[in-house]
Amino acid sequence: MNAHTQATRAPRLHRRLMQYDPVLGYRFVPRLKLRIPHEGGGYLVKTNGDGFRCDHQVTPHKNRAHRVLVFGDSFTAGDGVSNGKRYSDVLEENLCDTEVLNFGLSNSGTDQQYLIFQQYAGKIDYDAVVIGLLVENIQRNIVRERGWADHSGETICVPKPWFELSPGGGLTLKGVPVPLPYKPDVATARESRRRSLRTNLREMVNKLGPDFKDFCQWLTKFQPLPEYGSAGSIGWKLLHAILDKWVSELTVPAVIAVIPVYQYVEETANYKDIRRRFDELAQSIDVPIYHVVDDLQREPAGTRRQLRFRTDCHLTPTAHRIIGQALAKLVAPLLGAEPTRDTGPQFDPAVASVDVRQASPSEGIGT
């Protein structure tokens, strides 16, 4: 069965935004232009011919003096935010004669993002890479499928590719071609929900509203990503290996932008374990690591709540602007260029700092 036949038989994915892909599991529907209802007033989704939320077509040759490729999940693709207002768009606005191609894929893990890089890196011209790594990806890389809602709101299981660690520390790709999305057996789904105490508690808290949820997390000192607590955790070892492999294939300068979930921005959870793990990574890869949390935390504590939507955890346009402007001062020197306007102190890749550590390294679809 070829990919086209498989795609036509797959369940319709959520909000008509996604279609089946045999390598990635799914990608945006190409040449889409659709306004999505959202608590922020709705947002416009436009995709190019390759099925990414990018206003530029993916052409073999760059159309400006410089080209930057940006990879990530929904925080990069821009769930909740219209094309033109995401951090990749702000980055482009703040760089001279540069086009930025946004390859963000909502709901994806770092594994899928790396596979997107592999698909395009050898076919197009580019001068720098930004890996927008949402810290939650440490959990997504382990799973083989994720639960979504289809166009009618019913639960579907959406398989994805994944990597497994080999005895020698290498990576083996599994699950390709990716199976079709499917609707879980009713009894299986019910039993799974019954067993998932954590899921039931989360749903109960969510029903009481975002303010109550925030209070509970503050009161319990909720740690959303315990996998970063140990260098030996399966999640960290796998993420480390994927980034090692990805960086080893780069032929241009790059930045890893570590994007926090809101608990770290608002300091209801401690970021120190995440910083420690990426500091360790920085010792083995020759790519600077930028901790986005540092720039977001520079906002007054009383206004940081405005950096995410009220019920949707995704970044608001204000947060995207902060990140895009900060990235411009990191990426410009890598291109041998200057930002189009003053975005703050210039980043010196030879010097480590609090913000950038040099190595010697919903209403939307979902994150």
Tens of pLDDT, residues 133-157: 999 999 999 999 988 876 666 788 9
* Structure confidence at residue 238 (pLDDT): 97
Per-residue pLDDT band at 168 (split at 50, 70, 90): confident
Average pLDDT, the chain: 84
pTM reported for the whole predicted model: 0.83
Domains by residue range for the chain, with CATH: 56-144+165-173+226-357 (3.40.50.1110), 185-223 (no CATH)
DSSP conformation class of 182: B
Query: Around Cβ 152, how many Cβ atoms within 10 Å?
Result: 9
Q: For the residues 278-286, what does the mean pLDDT come to?
A: 94
Whether residue 26 is predicted with pLDDT greater than 50 in this model: the reply is yes
Written as six digits, the tokens of 230 are 């140990």
Please tell me whether residue 155 adopts helix, strand or coil conformation.
Answer: strand
Helix, strand, coil shares of the chain as percentages rounded to 5? 35, 20, 45
Tens of pLDDT, residues 200-247: 555 554 555 665 455 555 555 667 899 999 999 999 999 999 999 999
d(CA 339, CA 91): 9
* Structure confidence at residue 233 (pLDDT): 97
CB 362 within 8 A of CB 147: no
* Structure confidence at residue 350 (pLDDT): 33
d(CA 295, CA 257): 12
Cross-strand pairs, 162: 174
* Structure confidence at residue 156 (pLDDT): 87
Tens of pLDDT, residues 241-268: 999 999 999 999 999 999 999 999 999 9
Share of the chain above pLDDT 90, in %: 70
Please tell me whether residue 322 adopts helix, strand or coil conformation.
Answer: helix
Name every residue whose Cβ is closer than 8 Å to that of residue 304 and which is 6 or more positions away in sequence. Answer: 265, 266, 296, 297
